[in-house]
Chains A and B, each alone.
Chain A
Amino acid sequence: MSEKRYKLHPVSAFINFVKGLKELIIPFVVIFGVNIFRDGGVSAMFTGGWIELLPVLIGGVVLLFLLIAGIIKWKRFVYWFEDGELRIEYGLFVKKKRYIPFDRIQSLNYTEGIFHRPFGLVKVKVETAGSGKMGEAEAELTAISREDADRIETEMEAAKRGFREPASAVEHPSEEQAEIPEEKKDARMVYRMNMRSLLILATTSGGIGVVLSAVAVFFSQFSELIPYDAIYEEVMVLWRFGALIVALLVFIGLAIAWVISVILTVLANYQFTIYTDEDHIYITRGLLEKKRVSVPFKRIQGVQVSQNPLRELFGYATVTVESAGGSIGDKDEKIRLFPLVKKKDMIPIVAELFPETNWTPEMTKAPKRSLRFFYRLDFLWMIPLIGVLSYFFFPLGLLSLLIVPIVLALAVWQHRTMGYALIGKQLTMEFRGISKHTFFMMKKRIQAIEVTQSYFQRRKDVASIQATIKSGMLGATARIDHMDRQDGTRILEWYEPSKQKLAAHEKGQPELSG
């Protein structure tokens, strides 16, 4: 056929080699590690005759093999466009061909690693709308130039629009070149994370909890020692000194871990930017390894806004997009639209991205009578725990009573947060474990709605409602507990397709069930 076959950039060979090396690092460490602990250490390997050199030789052969394998892999890899498909062929002994129809391609995700940067290359991951089977066609082009990546995109767009003349790309190369810059302009920037937000994100993401606990440990160690001080002074001075050292070391260790996590977060989310065009959202981020993820609007199932208490206090939120498809075990399955953003800054942006969604709906809250359900079950574990602690550690154990007001306060808080809103075709649910979550879902994306009522709930006429949407390969569920039963019925009626279609002659509906 006349289709032009494209190869990957030669750097791919080197990247393949490094990748292979990474996988072998553990066996290598084992081989050399064992030798280090032998008499004479590593140097013995080089002085003890050829048998001792064996590990080194094997290591060398393996390295050579990896290098050759990397080169062959690159040599044999070709891709081209034909019949509205992206076709890939690779393999030395076993030739593998993979044909991916363009209209099945969901998104092209770009990554720029440190080896890609100097040559202006990208790694392209082709994600397809997985039909639920593992190992569904999904391809990775290790390193291609930006222009080549753009060419795939234009080919894909052309195929999706229905222009399937097989040779279009080859026949009008000049037109294509003209199209690329245009397309770049099309995708306009809607948000760029500033340094301030990035730093707040890095310092408050999980790591802070570790640090706080470390500080707590530190101080508890310190203060508990004071009353005993006079009694066992000599022993205690030593012990306190030891404890202090341990606490300090733990604290320093955690602090280092925290600093590392801060740096990693900053590197990964550096210049976090959202672009959008007619049918995609593009997210680019990263300093050393630049990543670009694209999400088609069509695949977006719902949007979740989460706020942990600390961030809620300062009006910050995390926004994730639930997208259908993608690959199993992919970390980016839940795509973070905003890792961290001021809620008031976020609303105009999401309103622009999703104009049909109401982002500040009036919530219907849980009824007053349902408050008891939020703490009642907690007493099941609290009472025995407090009992045991108070009995065995008599005076100090009574302190455990303090968890009662904490749990009650949390229950009140959860009860206050719980709520939902039905506006047009949109269902919004808001609930709290400790962090507050708000799910924005459109009716056509909800897979099933369940209303449950336990015996106790029935007596108080309340019910729990849950809605499931598709997220990645699985589902994501939003659940609001202990709402008024009327609300459950209302949501079910809103969701029921025939209720809205035949609303007028609902009662005269023909009986269909057997």
Chain B
Amino acid sequence: MDNQPKNQISKKGLRVWRLYGIIQTTVLLLLAVGASILTYYLEGPGWLYGIYAAIPILFGFLFIYLFPKIRWQRWRYEVREQEIELQHGLFIVKRTLVPMVRVQHVDTEQGPILRKYDLAEISISTAATTHTIPALITAEADELRARISVLARVAEDDV
């Protein structure tokens, strides 16, 4: 849609998503190896091996390469004085607008993998909804959290 929000999330976020993809693909690969061994001992038909090979490759391509790339390119956010605007989505692009006045609290969160990459995700809660920006540099996330909470306090309800 027209004029997208300005900021992108950290390039490292893309790496983290790729890492998630690698982990998932590895699990799938192990399953495929297990199935191959089983097929070998049970003397199953040969074409099954082809399927076992194809699934992890396709999965890896999608979840390590393609999807993180699209997701990362699409993820945009912008925190302005009066509102927060988010855009994300893989197949379905979602554009969200949250006025500062409605923001009730802001959280940052960091799992082990995110910590390793010095990243954090930030969740913005209103009275009825929660919105998350994944993968921001920790310092940036902290600063953003502080800024949103200041802006949310300042923004007065004059509508």
Using a CB–CB cutoff of 8 Å, the interface residues on chain A facing chain B are 324, 425, 443-444, 446-455, 458, 463, 468-471, 474-476, 485, 488-489, 492, 495-498, 501, 511-514
Contacts and interface: CB of A to CB of B under 8 A. Distances in A.
A68 to B, nearest CB: 44
A496 B1 contact: no
B82 A453 contact: no
Given A498-B82, A514-B140, A450 B99 contact: no
B6 interface: yes
A496 B97 contact: yes
29 contacts: A324-B127, A425-B159, A444-B101, A444-B159, A448-B98, A448-B126, A449-B96, A450-B94, A450-B96, A453-B92, A455-B92, A468-B128, A470-B127, A471-B128, A488-B1, A488-B95, A495-B99, A496-B85, A496-B99, A497-B100, A498-B83, A511-B6, A512-B81, A513-B6, A513-B7, A513-B78, A514-B79, A514-B140, A514-B144
A10 B93 CA distance: 62
Contacts of A452: 89, 92-95
Interface residues of B, number: 36
Contact of B129 (A425, A468, A492): A468
B43 interface: no
A455 B74 CA distance: 13
Nearest to A491: B97
Contacts of A475: 127-129
A342 to B, nearest CB: 32
Contact of A498 (B6, B81, B95): B81
Interface in B21-65: none
Contacts of A449: 96-97
B80 interface: yes
Interface string B80-117: 11110100010111111111111000000000000000
Contacts, number: 99
A155 B7 CA distance: 53
A7 B68 CA distance: 65
Contact of A496 (B82, B126, B144, B157): B82
A497 B97 CA distance: 10
B79 A513 contact: yes
Contacts of B147: 514
B85 to A, nearest CB: 8
Contacts of B93: 452-454, 458
Contact of A497 (B1, B91, B127, B159): B159
B127 A492 contact: no
A485 B41 CA distance: 57
A424 to B, nearest CB: 11
A225 B93 CA distance: 54
A208 B144 CA distance: 55
Contacts of B81: 498, 512
B131 interface: yes
A448 B1 contact: no
A512 B79 contact: yes
B92 A498 contact: no
Given A444-B157, A498-B80, A514-B140, A450 B95 contact: yes
Given A514-B79, A514-B140, 9 more contacts: A448-B131, A450-B97, A452-B92, A452-B95, A454-B91, A471-B128, A497-B100, A498-B81, A514-B7
Contact of B95 (A451, A511, A512): A451
Contacts of A489: 1-2
Contact of A455 (B2, B91, B102, B131): B91
B80 A513 contact: yes
Nearest to B77: A513
Nearest to B90: A455
A405 to B, nearest CB: 30
A497 B129 contact: no
Nearest to B131: A448
A223 B110 CA distance: 66
A497 B101 contact: yes
B60 to A, nearest CB: 23
Nearest to A455: B91
Given A447-B128, A458-B93, A485 B1 contact: yes
What are the nearest 10 A-B pairs in CB distance? A475-B128, A497-B82, A498-B82, A444-B159, A447-B126, A470-B127, A447-B128, A470-B128, A454-B92, A451-B95
Nearest to A449: B97
Nearest to A325: B127
Given A454-B92, A495-B97, A447 B82 contact: no
